[in-house]
Chains A and B, each alone.
Chain A
Amino acid sequence: MKRDEIIVGVVIFIFGAVTTVLSLRMHIGTFRTAGAGMFPLLLGILLMVLSSTFVSKKFFQGKGEQAGKEASIESSESPMQLILFLGTMILAALFFNRLGYPLTSFLLVLGLLRILGIKRWGLNILISVVTAAGSYFLFIKWLDIPMPKGWIGI
């Protein structure tokens, strides 16, 4: 945990450093007439100061002091479910415009239910169809929100 905390702190420090460097490429100006880069520059420096404080605090912190202080979420026995879930979400975003809203919503729910262990195809398809149809009527027909039609054209 302590090692993880230090790594995260270093990553945040790098983020602050990158912000600082990129800000320096913009117009900085003076305090009276600050340029576009002034505010992010100050923030980048502030983030570097805060993250170095955090990292050094963690580095010098005793083992006993650290244990049990901060809660973290339990990790799964298998991260495969999470990867597949994330992958399906990404695919849905990738093909959202091409497939159109009704088809994407149907396939997304179908895929996610399957990944989460709803193995009965009948139930899986029923939930997906009802959800896709319900959200189609709610958003497109009732609220009149323009959604991608995709190749099916509805």
Chain B
Amino acid sequence: MIESLQHLMNGFAIAGTIQNLLYCLIGCIVGTLIGVLPGIGPIAGIALLIPATFGLDPTSAIIMLAGIYYGAMYGGSTTSILLNVPGETASVITCIDGYRMAQKGRAGPALAIVAIGSFIAGTISIFGLVFLAPPLAEAALAFGPPEYFSLMVFGFIVLSNVTGKSLVKSLMMAVIGLIIGTIGLDPVTGDARFTYGSVSLLGGIEFVAVAIGLFGIGEVLVNVNQSSELLDQGVIMPRLRELYPSLQDLRKSMGAILRGTVSGFGIGLVPGPAPVIATYSSYMIERRVSKHPEEFGQGAIEGVAGPESANNAACQAAFIPLFVLGIPFAPPTAILLGALLIHGVSPGPLMISQHAGLFWGVIASMYIGNFVLLILNLPLVPLFANILRIPKRILLPLVILFCLTGMYTVNNSVFDIWVMFLFGAMGFLMRKWAYEGAPLLLALVLGPKLEVAFRQSLMISHGDFGAFINRPISLAFLLATLLFLMVPIFRIFFKKLRKGGVA
């Protein structure tokens, strides 16, 4: 433990040089700006700027790219709150309560709590990284395909339970997302599925197109469809003193931030798109522990504080499998892995001993990056919140233009723009009939991974489904899934029983 602390101190010395601080600052600023643009999330942001780091030494380069990663994650949350446009998957859940808060004139507190929650989560996570990294990385290795499959099934059920009012509707959306996720090349055999000769479909349906379509374009179309009076109504604008969270907001958020940090950190270590699962799990936990679960979905600050803290903690924890095992479990860390390789660093079990300066320097820079983001973004809250002052009649065309531009920049493909419009129309209809977009989106992201885990598990077990229940971790997840499915049924049963008893 003492040794780890010493290494961390050395890391701070490396990350704290003027040069590296500057790169961290540049990374955070550029990342935030990129994250605010719909469509250009952390993946595109890092990819676009890797060439800019070629002239730097590996430590400075990774510090700057990690800064872009965090900045873009934060920027993505900003657009989720203000415009209901998630910059990347992990921000989808922030749309639910963050956007409602903005509509009620509470964009400022929502934006500020993201920065505060992320900073607290970052502070706690760094200690987790230092003391728990080696044993937790070993524990993560215990996850094989069956555990991975059961965890994802659990994730779907949890998410379907927390979003919307109808479990069946949410589950249908999740299955539709999984089906859409099968379009493209079969991840195991490489056969083309549902592509019908289209080269554009071989790579599958672009996630960003679905995300911007369902949430961003869908929301714009809902607004356009409103009567003229409603279009002019706009959102309630906050007064200056309401731009930052009140003491009551902070008190409400503190528990959510701490719970989000702990759950997010744990999930971040597990193979899979950790930030996405972490945000959904945190949201679910907060709704369950809340004394006012009915406020969730209507602008509850805990619904923003918890998931955003979980997101940050999971992002930090995701560096453990990347650095210690050399396995990136999420697209942004995969791009960072590419950057490491370009700079001649091969992550793996020997990385801590062979590139100690780089490893601990980056760990320390994460903390510095969080601090920079806090002091950078808190003063910017009024500026961002003022975006909502722009009349809807002017704001909506601008959102469409940025969605279109952002979408094109992902693959330089007009086809993606068509997909985005298609899902925009679908998002509009889904709102009309009260269907939730979040389960569909999560299923689209996790679908290919779920399929691979499912098929690998059955290959290993020679087609025996017992593989999912004979392994304790997998069984635990499946039992938890069953419990989650049974809870609403029991609730209805007992409600009816009580009604019958009273009558």
Residues on the B chain within 8 Å of A71, using CB: 434
Q: Is A82 a contact of B224 with CB atoms below 8 Å?
A: yes
With known contacts A19-B179, A47-B172, A85–B224 Cβ distance under 8 A: yes
Please indicate which of the listed interface residues A39, A40, A82, A145 has the most CB atoms of chain B within 10 Å of its own CB: A39
- Complex: A112 Cα to B178 Cα, angstroms: 34
Closest to A104 in B: B404
Q: Is B225 a contact of A73 with CB atoms below 8 Å?
A: yes
Minimum distance in angstroms from A132 CB to a CB of chain B: 8
* Residue from B168, B189, B396, B462 within 8 A of A53 (CB atoms): B168
Residue B10, interface by CB 8 Å: no
Q: Is B179 a contact of A44 with CB atoms below 8 Å?
A: yes
Residues on the B chain within 8 Å of A105, using CB: 401, 404-405
Minimum distance in angstroms from A139 CB to a CB of chain B: 6
- Complex: A34 Cα to B402 Cα, angstroms: 42
Interface SS, B side:
helix
Q: Is A86 a contact of B400 with CB atoms below 8 Å?
A: no
- Complex: A36 Cα to B463 Cα, angstroms: 16
Residues on the A chain within 8 Å of B175, using CB: 16, 43, 46-47, 50
* Residue from B414, B421, B435 within 8 A of A89 (CB atoms): B421
- Complex: A24 Cα to B343 Cα, angstroms: 47
With known contacts A36-B186, A43-B178, A69-B165, A146–B412 Cβ distance under 8 A: yes
Minimum distance in angstroms from A61 CB to a CB of chain B: 11
- The 8 A CB mask of A5-41 against B (1 = contact, 0 = none) is 1001000100110010010001100111111111110
- Complex: A84 Cα to B188 Cα, angstroms: 44
Residue A129, interface by CB 8 Å: no
Residue B425, interface by CB 8 Å: yes
Q: Is A96 a contact of B401 with CB atoms below 8 Å?
A: no
* Interface size of B as a range: 35 or more
Residue A57, interface by CB 8 Å: yes
Interface size for A (C-beta < 8 A) is 68
Residues on the A chain within 8 Å of B408, using CB: 96, 101, 147
Q: Is B182 a contact of A40 with CB atoms below 8 Å?
A: yes
- Complex: A82 Cα to B432 Cα, angstroms: 14
Residue B13, interface by CB 8 Å: no
Residue B132, interface by CB 8 Å: no
* Residue from B171, B176, B402 within 8 A of A15 (CB atoms): B176
Q: Is A70 a contact of B191 with CB atoms below 8 Å?
A: no
With known contacts A70-B166, A109-B398, A12–B193 Cβ distance under 8 A: no
Q: Which of B225-261 contact A (CB under 8 A)?
A: 225-228, 230-231
Closest to B404 in A: A92
Q: Which of B256-304 contact A (CB under 8 A)?
A: none
With known contacts A90-B421, A135-B405, A72–B459 Cβ distance under 8 A: no
Since A96-B404, A135-B401 are in contact, a sample of 6 more A-B pairs with Cβ atoms closer than 8 Å, ordered by chain A residue number, is: A12-B176, A34-B188, A34-B455, A43-B182, A74-B230, A143-B409
- Cβ-closest 4 pairs across A and B: A32-B463, A112-B397, A31-B463, A36-B191
Binding site for B on A (CB under 8 A): 4-5, 8, 12, 15-16, 19, 22, 26-27, 30-40, 43-44, 46-47, 50-51, 53-54, 57, 69-77, 79, 81-82, 85-86, 89-90, 92-93, 96-97, 101, 105, 108-109, 112-113, 116-118, 127, 131, 135, 139, 143-147
Binding site for A on B (CB under 8 A): 48, 165-166, 168-169, 171-172, 175-176, 178-179, 182, 186, 188-189, 191, 193-194, 221-222, 224-228, 230-231, 392-394, 396-398, 400-402, 404-405, 408-409, 412, 414, 417-418, 421, 425, 431-435, 451, 454-455, 458-459, 462-463, 465
